């Protein structure tokens, strides 16, 4: 007879086919500021509330044996926000990474940071390097955190790297193919995202993983990020599983 825990788990993920889950989920965590303003709070409080959502989503992916999760934490365009908000965000990142690394490590989560990390403050870079080193051997879930990230910037850096390799004789330009080119991107060695979730109802990809999202299924929800919970994730997975992925071919 099924245990109470097994019955509860079945009910929580009711309808989800565990044999057809995405390997890689990407998320644009949008709506933090609106969530806070709707509650007459300072806008930055929405970012702090969103940390709880992030923690729950990592746990859900871990429980479902989804192997890769990539979240958009701070874009290269986010520097255009007010100095107060940007400063608050960097302090929050510093605090959260240092605080969560123990729990993530204990649960087999590997932390990776993608983006222009070299441009960040030395203290934050040190915290990031420590988190990556601490969790490097973990295999249950790879958590990619896109920090100071822009899709066009990534492609530009890939072009530069390929040009340098070609000049050094390490690459034959005529034999370069998509698989070889993919090895220059931040997500090298990982499958491309199967599912992109964007919260808050905005219908754009906002310079996110432009190369990797070529055939990704996109799911838009009006739910603001701090309110995105397990049931919302279940609905995203059900929507994903209802689609026929053809990759340009006929069914």
Pick the CATH number of 22-151+192-238 from 3.30.1330.10, 3.20.20.70, 3.40.1180.10, 3.10.310.10: 3.40.1180.10
All residues at 6 or more sequence positions from 114 whose CB lies less than 8 Å from its CB, including other chains: 70, 144, 145, 146, 147, 149, 154, 186, 187
| Residues 114, 144 contacting (CB under 8 angstroms) | yes
- Catalytic, 91? Answer no
**Greater model confidence, 3 or 76:** 76
Does the predicted TM-score (pTM) go above 0.75?
Answer: yes
Per-residue pLDDT tens over the stretch 206-241: 999 999 999 999 999 999 999 999 999 999 999 999
Taking the domains of the chain in order of start, what are their residue ranges?
22-151+192-238
Q: Which of 30, 192, 194, 232 is catalytic?
A: 30
- Catalytic, 52? Answer no
Per-residue pLDDT tens over the stretch 148-180: 999 999 999 999 999 999 999 999 988 899 999
DSSP code for 227 = G
Per-residue pLDDT tens over the stretch 176-198: 999 999 999 999 999 999 999 99
Task: Return the pLDDT at 7.
Answer: 56
């Amino acid at each position: 007879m099924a245990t109470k825990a097994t019955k509860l788990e079945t009910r929580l993920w009711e309808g989800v086919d565990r044999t057809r889950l995405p390997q890689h989920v990407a998320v644009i965590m949008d709506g933090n500021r609106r969530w806070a303003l709707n509650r007459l709070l300072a806008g930055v409080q929405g970012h702090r509330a969103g940390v709880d959502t992030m923690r729950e989503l990592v746990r859900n992916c871990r429980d479902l044996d989804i192997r890769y999760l990539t979240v958009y934490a701070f874009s290269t365009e986010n520097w255009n926000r007010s100095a107060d908000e940007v400063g608050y965000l960097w302090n929050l990142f510093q605090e959260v990474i240092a605080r969560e690394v123990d729990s993530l490590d204990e649960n087999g989560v590997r932390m990776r940071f993608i983006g222009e990390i070299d441009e960040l403050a030395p203290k934050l870079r040190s915290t990031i390097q420590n988190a990556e080193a601490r969790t490097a051997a973990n295999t249950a879930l790879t958590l990619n955190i896109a920090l100071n990230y822009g899709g066009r910037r990534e492609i530009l850096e890939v072009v530069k790297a390929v040009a340098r390799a070609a000049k050094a004789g390490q690459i034959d330009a005529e034999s370069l193919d998509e698989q070889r080119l993919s090895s220059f991107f931040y997500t090298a060695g990982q499958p491309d995202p199967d599912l992109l979730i964007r919260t808050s109802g905005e219908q754009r990809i906002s310079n996110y993983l432009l190369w990797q999202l070529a055939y990704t299924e996109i799911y838009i929800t009006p739910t603001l990020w701090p309110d995105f919970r397990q049931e919302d994730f279940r609905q995203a997975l059900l929507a994903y599983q209802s689609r026929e992925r053809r990759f340009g071919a006929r069914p």
